[in-house]
Amino acid sequence: MAVMIKAAFTTLIYDPLYNALIFLIDIVPHADVGIAVILLTIFVKFVLFPLSLKAVKTQIALRAMEPELKEIKEKNKDNQHAQALAMMELYRKYEINPFSSILLILIQLPIIFGLYWVFFKGGLPVISPEHLYSFIPSPQDINMHFLGLVDVASTRNILFTLLVGITQYIQIRLTLPALTPRKENASFQEDFSRSMNLNMRYVLPVVVTIAAYFLSVAIGLYWITSNIFAIGQEFYVRRHIKKPEDTAHGSVVPTK
């Protein structure tokens, strides 16, 4: 089973992304691997953008429904079956699939992991002929120095490590809901949510920064580009999609 999964991942995810990277290296100025990494990351992010946007819309709609969901749970707290039926009816009323965001994440994960794996295990500047399609030209000379300055195969680059950490922090800070003060009689769920918010906001950027320090600059470029794209996506969402707090009379943002 594991062999079949690995073969499917290689054929459907890794090989197409690897060939796209080699193709970009062949056409970008000076065969700059760093520029190719940035372009490939942006391309994949644009391909996944509709899925990401739909997931964001679903989350916004679910947040807008929270008062009604809370009312249903309170009203049917002693009847789990009735509670589930009422919640499903509410989802149907607003044409929302509460599991769609999870499905969209599951679709995106193999692609994102494949992109990361291409940069992490691509083996450049050596090209793997067994992974290269016959119609993809193999560059004669591969420039591993991004903009002629930084070796993308090198590790422990302070500048790129700091850029990874800073962009990761900004991206998380923009996407997470505001951190509310801890309530004295907070429920376990409220305490858990606040704890997760704190860890995501402050601990995760530190962990990512430490990891980036020991990984190659190519991975750092991928992370930085991905974070900047996510930041831009968040500003797009804020400008074009109505937030729950701006929604009048509890109306829900459509997810279509």
- Residue 191 · residue 167 · CB < 8 Å: no
User: Is residue 102 included in any domain, yes or no?
Assistant: yes
Nearest alpha-carbon partner for 251 in 83, 87, 243: 243
Confidence of residue 144 (pLDDT cuts 50, 70, 90): very high
Q: Is the model's pLDDT at 155 over the cut of 60?
A: yes
User: Is residue 161 included in any domain, yes or no?
Assistant: no
Stretch 41-67: mean pLDDT: 83
- Given its phi and psi angles, is residue 169 left (phi above 0), alpha (psi -120 to 50 degrees) or beta? alpha
Alpha carbon distance 20, 250 (integer Å): 46
Task: Give pLDDT, residue 104.
Answer: 67
Percent of the chain whose predicted confidence (pLDDT) is above 70:
88
User: Is residue 195 included in any domain, yes or no?
Assistant: no
User: Is residue 81 included in any domain, yes or no?
Assistant: yes
The number of distinct structural domains making up the chain is: 1
Alpha carbon distance 181, 14 (integer Å): 45
- 142's tokens: 């591969």
Q: Domain of residue 80: give its range.
A: 2-145
User: Is residue 215 included in any domain, yes or no?
Assistant: no
What value does the mean pLDDT of the chain take?
A: 84
0.85 exceeded by pTM: no
Q: Read off the amino acid at residue 158.
A: I
User: Is residue 61 included in any domain, yes or no?
Assistant: yes
User: Is residue 46 included in any domain, yes or no?
Assistant: yes
Calculate the CA dihedral of residues 56, 59, 65, 69 and round it to 10 degrees. Answer: 170
User: Is residue 82 included in any domain, yes or no?
Assistant: yes
Task: Give pLDDT, residue 189.
Answer: 63
